[in-house]
Amino acid sequence: MSKSLSAPSISDFNQSLLGFLQASPTPFHATSSMVSILLSAGYTELFEDQAWQLKEQAGYFIRRNDSSIIAIWLADKSQALRLVGAHTDSPCLKVKPNASLCGKGYFQLGVEVYGGALLAPWFDRDLSLAGRVHVRIDGKIESALVNFERAIATVPSLAIHLDREANKGRTINPQTQLPPVLSIAGAKDKDLNSILMAEVARQLAKENPGSEEQLESILDYELFFYDTQPPAIIGLDNEFIASARLDNLLSCFIGLQSLLESDKSQNKLLICTDHEEVGSASACGAQGPFLQQVMERIWPSNEDRNRIIAGSMMISADNAHGIHPNFSDRHDQNHGPMLNQGPVIKVNANQRYATNSLTSAIFKQLCDDVGVSYQTFVTRTDMGCGSTIGPITASEVGIETIDIGVPTFGMHSIRELAGSEDAFELTKVLKHFFEKASLTE
């Protein structure tokens, strides 16, 4: 059996996690961050429009739409597969196509709300802008990642003097109240395209001096606002991690660390897909054919592939709701996961989570094997339940699946909160999942 990488200490682990969150303001950047880590671990990129020559005892990864990624370690093609799944996207404000607004003397950008964002926390933040831009450069269409990095916008609150009812259940109109303010418009109208041209040229000049002169035009973009406040360890005794996008870049990071730190004895696969927050129905989302098509190319024979699927298991990792001390009535009295008390097994009678008693038993055994405590979440019976990629992947591919995740507060806020020990503990469990010889023994 090959030696695995030595496991880092919890503080090194958390510092790497904070760095990953900071470097990944959009699904495109998250995928690019994972690509860099996989390349430095010796994984080879496979391209979907080319023929594949796969070897055993080798690591590969495949990108789709620059925002979803599958990484696979092929130990022995006759073995079943251990899968971990997560998602790369998070709720946020996405810039509209014709976004520039200059009507009131200020330069603003029109935005759509991407996913189920908590809108109130977006006010009074120092916002930056990042995403993917398609440009024409030297006569060709090319894509470029762009990240302004510095704070260039804000959504100012309305003073309480102008809305005395503000603290009494104020509603937010996303069309009229959310367009961020970028600058004072001045005499000359500003427009996003020329700002993007300048920014892309600046980034090209930095990466490859001279190439900026070939830049002809901006054709289109997918741009998202994000909070520039860096991720941080906070709390009197450093108990918490505060950051944007913990849902679900935390799980992407855990999955990737587990994949790379575990030994090389098992076939293991990490899938991180975009568009979970809007239902996963896209070419690169969990409801699309990405995983199925990759598996068809690794195991072209139906008979072989169906045998592999029947023996495989997937852990779908996405954050859970910790019980909030100020809102404890929102949880079932026997199912209130605490921060820093271990990963949460998510259960739902209506298959909003894919967990069943077999996959739950296997996960509990994995936790026991490595001395990690676990908790269980089921929603109050008089409340609806969220969902994730677990049931979607299970129903698309037919793999036994469990839904688990790290307990957090403020899910879908611009700044969420997790325990500073849970990510590290869950990594131990997933690493063990990726290397245990038999999951039922």
Residue ranges that bind Zn ion, judged by CB under 5 A: 247-248, 318
CB of 90 to Zn ion, least distance (A): 8
* Smallest gap from residue 175 Cβ to Zn ion (A): 26
Tokens representing 80 are 């079943």
d(CA 160, CA 176): 18
From CA 271, how far away is CA 68, in angstroms rounded?
A: 8
Listed in sequence order, the residues at least 6 apart from 242 whose beta carbon sits closer than 8 Å to its beta carbon are 231, 232, 233, 234, 415, 416, 417
CB count in 10 Å sphere of residue 88: 28
Between 125 and 275, name the residue whose CB sits nearer to Zn ion. 275
Token pair for 367: 């936790």
**Minimum distance of Zn ion from residue 319's CB (angstroms):** 6
Q: How far apart are CA 291 and CA 271, in angstroms?
A: 8
- Which residue, 248 or 257, has its beta carbon nearer to Zn ion? 248
Q: Taking the complex as a whole, how short is the minimal distance between the CB of residue 182 and Zn ion, in angstroms?
A: 29
**Residue 16 CB-density burial (10 A; 0-12 exposed, 13-18 middle, 19+ buried):** middle
> In the complex with Zn ion, which residue's Cβ is closer, 212 or 318?
318
- Whole-angstrom CA distances from 36 to 93, 182, 250, 285, 306 are 26, 32, 17, 21, 32
Residue 193's contacts (CB-CB under 8 Å, 6 or more residues apart) are 218
CB of 404 to Zn ion, least distance (A): 12
Least distance between Zn ion and beta carbon 248 (Å): 4
- Candidates 424, 74, 37; CA nearest to 260 is 37
Query: Quick count: other Cβ atoms within 10 Å of Cβ 22?
Result: 17
Q: Beta strand 81-87 with 313-317: parallel, antiparallel or unpaired?
A: parallel
Number of residues written out for the chain: 441
Q: How far is the CB of 414 from Zn ion (least distance, A)?
A: 15
Q: Given the complex with Zn ion, which of 109 and 402 has the nearer CB atom?
A: 402
Q: Which is nearer to Zn ion, 25 or 180 (CB)?
A: 25
CA of 352: how far to CAs of 127, 290, 403, 413, in Å? Answer: 34, 21, 9, 22
Min dist CB 189 to Zn ion, Å, is 39
Nearer to Zn ion, 248 or 375 (CB): 248
Q: In terms of CB distance, is 204 or 272 closer to Zn ion?
A: 272
Using DSSP bridges, classify how beta strands 407-409 and 320-321 pair: parallel, antiparallel or unpaired: parallel
User: Rounded distance, CA 54 to CA 418, Å?
Assistant: 39
For Zn ion, the closer of residues 247 and 274 by Cβ is 247
Q: In the complex, what is the shortest distance from the CB of residue 49 to Zn ion, in angstroms, rounded to a whole number? A: 30
203 vs 375 by CB, closer to Zn ion: 375
